[in-house]
Chain A
């Protein structure tokens, strides 16, 4: 599997680490109150087939954080962008 890093060009997937789902936006700070939004952001993940947006970190390369759109059924990388 290859991921096209905007800085380094196409590199082997082993240089990157998947870290988390990029579908949910982080709630804005609302003080020390554990709201439903925060619980959803931290714990809830949609496990659906098809194209999903994910955060990948180019750990073995330029250390850029990337927002990768990947078809989780076929592993096809559809889009790579800076967050």
Chain B
């Protein structure tokens, strides 16, 4: 028991007690306390165990830079490990635990790691656990992972809600200390919108701010990006778990930015400088002034500059006995002598603390005086300060290097990102008066920690240097210094100082510490925001979704869409349902929602010119009221997409694309129209979402549609032949477009109505088709019929296939310019030896072709060298059995050949016959049935 709550003082609300638990024990603090201040007030010094050596650790700092006091807060799925006790605001019912211990915190079994220290020194991963290699995964890694490390995640889904927002301002001010508040009010005189953010909880009197200053407390700006800043607003981390959002990710778009982020203190290095009770001097001052907590009863103040002189009087006033002031500077300074004299404290000038005494907590300090004599002084608190470092992380995120200022022995911001300025202590103003840099005073007994969180000692740095790692970047990687969750906020400058001293360099010659975002750890949940699970992305439902849902359809994600996959009846599985649906289409009539195919309305006098240039085949002679199949190439000559385009008038076309490429084709067309040929008078609009389009297919399709059409004669064969299209009205005046095109190979029509009539059209088709045995079909049946008819689709349009490969070479016009024309003519792209589209059918009934299988010559060894292609699509046809489409070398010349279909992953190995891609109704007679 050493720390205590002072009788008066601090900004906490002493009228509001708060009860919380730490490691199962009940404690009481006040509203406004952090977990660290409340535990210190209760005399707790031991907060956790360290990463590698399981050494006892207390609190080093009072802020965001805390490396030691990492705890696990809340329970169950809300449990969050590695939380800095200095940043946790207590609330009634808060429960926290120390981490990285096996057994009790005071008797950690793994503390034996401390004895294994020689094995765990810098580079131990690289040296100790190298042999035998097989032991790494099975033994070394699990053991190290258990022994070393920090907290553990709950392993449960994150139950919290996170939000995202964007703040726009003319001026962003980071840090609401005196400098930040002044900067915000100054900026507010000319800037209409000023945003002031502060990482800490508001405590004490609220800052007086101009009206146009918006203040966000508990908000950390954690990254500087190109023109934007990222911040995390902690909305309810200071409250019991509730239904509201926990944190909000704030993207800040700022005209300019003022950093008033202050300076971070760096510790002095000495033996056992990690003992609970060794604290940063300014942190001690903060606990006294902000929380009314004295972190110890008997203190030694260890310093090398004048700022901590104020602490001497503050400690004395708080009732803490200051037993010694140890100043590394020969002669110390007038300010220190004066403060010490006023408090009646001896000053040891030109002296150093060589080590902290005590085990689980500091019991004293060993001091080596200027004359070399050593003495021990009783203390439970060693308040030390090696000087301050401007807190300039945000200036370095875009790569700017800090520069060393010898006058204040600190790194200041170098080149600043556009629009950023730095003020106050962050700019190095008024810090480290009278400083004389002191890095380490020699090899003292006991470990001297440079990086507390990653357990890196002065000796580790020395070892790295001895082994040839002398650049700061190499030392960092070899020792892991500065690589923990605190990014070495209290460690980096000391490490550079130690390294400079060991290698005889000037610290100014070494690369200053640059940080990467985020400045503090940010929960992945906050970055994800609301986009998870079912809300990962918006769901696009087809215009017949409700209809399909009411019939019990199973749905599948197709690109961004949710489409009906099959409509099971009774106990049917997907295959039985899909085969039944195919039989209904082939025997009677079925219908399927094909809205998801991209639809692009193309209008203008030059619409036909654009089509001529984006499609490989010709369009100039397409009459109004007709539809044509088109093939689109990329500029490199490979196939990009296919689809049908209908000519509605001289100057209006409606193009369809594949579902997967709808967005890409639109983008491509606009590139062609706006960038390549801006002189074309043509306008483009995606109308995919505006029209519900249903394919009605089967021998009875015309009979069904005649019942719906207001003027049935308009769709008779004479008026609407195969590949014809027209506008008409259906069901008593509903505007519609009808296209006589077929994907299934049956007589078929695609009928389009304004999207809001989608469900109604589906119901009307069901009613009109009842007498013919109509049924809706899903994507599985669609796929089976597509493969039966040998139409290439997504698996064949895979970006690596050419018109020749797909059997579409006849479409490459020789008469006109089109995208991809030149490069498609490359000899290698027209080589008949390339894998090209064929059909496959198993030789033996019962074998099932699966997509992804390889195709090899019948007698060839089953090796990659003999691989001649792959199965791109496979289906279980109700009439033909297992069939497939394959890309096979020289395929079209090999019809009738027997090949081996080899699927080593799924144990498939059988013979199949190469057949033409069109396996069902090759003559196409059913289009007119």
Contacts and interface: CB of A to CB of B under 8 A. Distances in A.
Interface of A: 1-2, 12-13, 17, 19, 26-27, 29-35, 38-39, 41-43, 55, 57, 59, 63-65, 74-76, 83
Nearest to A27: B822
B671 A75 contact: no
A26 to B, nearest CB: 6
B253 interface: yes
A24 to B, nearest CB: 11
Given A1-B227, A2-B253, A32 B671 contact: no
A33 B825 contact: yes
Contacts of A13: 226
Interface string B244-264: 000000010100000000000
Interface stretch (B9-17, B506-514, B672-680, B745-753): B672-680
Contacts of B678: 83
Closest 10 CB pairs of A and B: A29-B817, A32-B825, A1-B226, A75-B226, A83-B675, A38-B822, A65-B674, A34-B826, A42-B636, A65-B675
Nearest to B826: A34
Nearest to A10: B253
Interface string B634-648: 011100000000000
Interface in B376-421: 398, 418
A18 B250 CA distance: 25
Most A Cβ at <10 Å: residue of B398, B635, B674:
B674
Contacts of A17: 667
Contacts of B398: 74
A38 B674 CA distance: 20
B228 interface: yes
Contacts of B418: 76
B824 A32 contact: yes
Contacts of A42: 635-636, 823
Most B Cβ at <10 Å: residue of A30, A55, A59, A63:
A63
A49 B561 CA distance: 41
A35 B823 CA distance: 8
Nearest to A75: B226
A65 B822 contact: no
B689 interface: no
A29 B821 contact: yes
Nearest to A59: B667
Nearest to B830: A32
11 contacts: A1-B228, A12-B251, A17-B667, A26-B676, A27-B822, A29-B817, A32-B825, A59-B663, A63-B670, A74-B226, A83-B674
A32 B814 contact: yes
Interface residues of B, number: 29
A69 B817 CA distance: 30
A82 to B, nearest CB: 8
Given A2-B228, A12-B228, A65-B670, 10 more contacts: A1-B226, A32-B814, A32-B822, A33-B825, A34-B822, A34-B823, A35-B822, A42-B823, A43-B636, A75-B226
A33 B670 contact: no
B595 to A, nearest CB: 21
Contact of A55 (B251, B675, B824): B675
B27 interface: no
B136 interface: no
B928 interface: no
B926 to A, nearest CB: 36
B225 interface: yes
B674 A30 contact: no
Contacts of A57: 667, 670-671
B571 to A, nearest CB: 46
Contacts of A19: 667, 671
A30 B818 CA distance: 11
Contact of A30 (B663, B822, B824): B822
B671 A34 contact: no
Given A19-B667, A32-B814, A64 B674 contact: yes
A30 B821 CA distance: 9
Interface string B799-828: 000000000000010100100011111100
Contacts of B670: 57, 63, 65
Given A19-B671, A64-B674, A2 B227 contact: yes
Contacts of B228: 1-2, 12
A6 B734 CA distance: 40
Contacts of A76: 226, 418
